[in-house]
Amino acid sequence: MRLSAESQALFDKALQWIPGGVNSPVRAFRAVGGNPFFAVRANGATVRDADGNEYVDYVGTWGPAILGHAPRVVVDAVKSAAEHGTSFGIPNPLEVRMAELVVNAVPSVEKVRMCNSGTEATMSAIRLARGFTKRGKIIKFEGCYHGHVDSLLVKAGSGALTLGQPDSAGVPLEFTSQTIVLPFNDVQAVREAFAAHGPDIAGIILEPVPANAGLYLPRDGYLEFLREITAGHESLLIFDEVMTGFRLGLAGAQGRFGITPDLSCFGKVIGGGLPVGAFGGRGEIMDCLAPDGPVYQAGTLSGNPLAMAAGVAVLEALADGSVYKKIEALGQALSDGLARAAESAGVAVQLQRIGSMSCCYFNDAPVHNMADAMKSDRDRFGNYFHGMLEAGIYVAPSQFEAGFISAAHDEATIGRTIEAAVEVMKAL
């Protein structure tokens, strides 16, 4: 692999003008050492850097690239939309089509409001939950990342966890005083929280499959329990499906597990790689939003035609279910292959997967929550990351991020990845 001289030069320049040289912290490679490469092109299942090196990509722009990079159907849709105007600030037909697709795909969603990021979606859903219930407190779980919303940036995952800073400076205590933080998969902790604060709890927000502290699954019956206890206390259950929405199936994690939340948050896949967010739910709740109700939410670029065109193209391509069947099988093959590679090398790992999402924890016990995830050997993961990168395989530059497979991956790509892992695992 050629030296990354051009990427290094770009990073040196970026450090002069951009904090940390990056516009999102986990990109900086701080958790694994070294400096990031700079991407100049991505197509299908690969990404190419400024020095001409090509990598098989399992980050997939952190989830949206379910069809692969630059799929023709999305590129054509964006080009066509751009020719008619990049932004209107006026209602446009693509917004209506997007809303129709989301509502028809996700049974719990009767109405949906578009915004510009997952952070905006969760922030708005929290405000709406408080406005609807007229209560102040929110329960969230350790390791569940809901964007950089002040009140939710407590024991969060994603970049904050990667950098060893589960909390953030600049967030006054008053902003988080209404947030109750509990361990994930802990039924008793939730019961105790409702026993102490039930009449004041507006709702619970969670990633139904936490994918920002690596990836771990809800225990059997856990999501059902959360549905029951929130309903019993007239609180709302909010699913943050920014990661899992339209990734684990058309109805997301809620469809996969058979749970009906009151509100749901979306992003990533529904934008086809462009900035996007959305939140939706029961009609009576959504009708509390302005202009019909007292809960204010707005955005100049919300529902912009480029993001809507890209998202509509993706959702229409996913409609027949064939993509999900393919990436589910590839996900299973990859996890099985990585497990064999680790076992043959005598390296302790936990391969945790659902659908096309997975995580390889360097841990000798299953991971069910953030405390378990934090026991992982981060130094060993860093060596694994760089070994795979040298072999032309790009995985997330953090032990605490999920990986993604796209429809552009194939059996040969998976085979190449497993072959690289066999050699890298031996070297650990």
Transcribe 288-334 into DSSP letters. TBTTTSSB----TTTT-HHHHHHHHHHHHHHTTSHHHHHHHHHHHHH
**230 CB contacts (<8 Å, ≥6 apart)?**
203, 204, 236, 237, 262
CB atoms within 10 A of CB 247: 27
CB 259 within 8 A of CB 303: no
In sign, the C-alpha dihedral spanning 398, 273, 404, 44 is negative
CB 28 within 8 A of CB 36: yes
Q: Compute the CA torsion angle 234, 235, 236, 239 (nearest 10 deg).
A: -130
CB atoms within 10 A of CB 244: 30
Provide the annotated active-site residues: 145, 240, 268
**What whole-number distance in Å separates Cα of residue 59 and Cα of residue 36?**
14
CB 150 within 8 A of CB 128: no
CB atoms within 10 A of CB 411: 10
In degrees rounded to 5, what are phi and psi of residue 315? -65, -35
Tokens for 122, please give them.
């969760």
Query: Side chain identity at 349, as an amino acid letter?
Result: V
Query: Side chain identity at 372, as an amino acid letter?
Result: D
